[in-house]
Amino acid sequence: MAIIRLEEPRPRLPISRPGWSPLMAMAFRPFYLVAAVFGAVAILAWVAGFNGTDALPGMLWHGHEMIWGYAGAVIVGFLLTAVASWTGQPAFSGTPLALLAALWVGARIAASTETGSLLLTGALSVAFFVSAAVAVGLPILRARSRRNAGVPFLLLAFGAADVLYLLTVAGVLALDARRLLFTGLLLVAGFITLIGLRVIPFFTHRALQRPQVAHPRWAGMTALLSPMVLAALVAADAPSPLALVVGLAGMVFNLVLLARNAHGSMRRHPLLWVLYLGYTLTALGLGLVGAALSVAPALMSAAVHCIAIGGIGVLTLGMMTRTALGHTGRKLELPPLMVPAYALMLLATVLRVAAAFVPAAYQPLIHAAGACFAGALLLFLWRYGLWLVSTRADGMPG
């Protein structure tokens, strides 16, 4: 007589396996991985005394690689992942993704080794940003998504700023390389406002189960355009009073719009408050840049690193930890070691900004800030590295 089982059969949980195919399944996977590795290594090399190359020496190498290297990888990885959701089109993956990642890696190797000229660095950088813009733009075009139509053009502007910077460093153009470096940084702040104003309210809604707060379109456009206008003013060496107005407007509008979605209960959600802190530091940096260009030039170093570490460092770490959880099929619960990673990145911001005001302790503060920045990224790699190269935990594609 056959035995009839009364209990329901238990489904087998999928086993997450590492491999090349899962690594190239979506753009966040290779780009978050290489950005974290490169960011940690580059910062440690910088504070240990690596001084770039003859073609791209000292601060020129350091600034370029943090802006167009580290930040560029995270931005492209996020956008190519998000645009599939925004448009309903297939994700950018496979061999084309591998080739795009190879362009980025090649540009980093060239920038750190090229001595005679910056030809290879420039060629690879141009190819990377143009290819990324096309990869982002095609699904937007196919879906006729007017809301996202400006995104690929912002990527092209970011790449164009990179080209102008490299040509200036090479002596081909008689421009101010330092100003072009600030221009690239402010364009990254533009990406932060573009992405932040779109996803932070949504993430807040998902985590707190609160309705998203709508804001007037004109206010959102002011917040979004202010860092880009400020970037153009810096590049053109425009009159400083105008830069002050734009910088302060960018700070105020971004802080107000961010605060409209904030709620006291988010303090219990590290995946949320880290995004709010990173966005806040970016907005404060915009105001400081405006002030530094007009009435207080001594604030420029603090302004730059408020955005570069407080904005880019804190926000990219928060965005990588949040988006990688969902896209690798895991619960939106922050893994162990990530709150210490957030704390290290925030401490790096405080130490680096403090270095601008305490000349006597400049070098120790720089070294400590670099160690904290690298430590935060290494903790991310320790917890997320295997997940980024493995199939989704829930067995779904992506």
Q: What is the pLDDT of residues 195-216, one digit of tens each?
A: 999 889 888 888 888 888 878 8
| Residue 236: per-residue pLDDT | 84
Rounded alpha-carbon distances, angstroms, from residue 147 to 83, 97, 143, 150, 211: 11, 24, 11, 8, 21
Domain residue ranges of the chain, discontinuous segments joined by +: 16-175, 177-389
Helices (H), 260-361: 270-292, 300-305, 314-327, 338-355
CA dihedral 28, 34, 39, 41 (to 10 degrees): 160
230: which residues sit within 8 A by CB, 6+ positions away? Answer: 186, 243, 246, 247, 250, 286, 289, 290
What three-state secondary structure class fits 393? coil
Give CA–CA dist 352/302, Å, rounded. Answer: 8
| Residue 213: per-residue pLDDT | 80
Q: Which of 195, 192, 355 is nearest to 283 (CA)?
A: 192
- Name the stretches of the chain with pLDDT < 50: 1-13
CA dihedral 45, 51, 56, 62 (to 10 degrees): 50
Q: Which of 27, 123, 109 is nearest to 76 (CA)?
A: 27
Give CA–CA dist 395/16, Å, rounded. Answer: 8
**pLDDT digit string, tens, across residues 5-59:** 333 334 444 556 788 899 999 999 999 999 999 999 999 999 999 999 999 999 9
- Cβ atoms of 140 and 87 within 8 Å: the answer is yes
How many Cβ atoms are within 10 Å of 296's Cβ, its own excluded? Answer: 14
Residue 82 structure tokens: 């998000």
Q: What is the DSSP letter of 210?
A: -
The answer, as to whether pTM is greater than 0.75, is yes
- Cβ atoms of 352 and 365 within 8 Å: the answer is yes
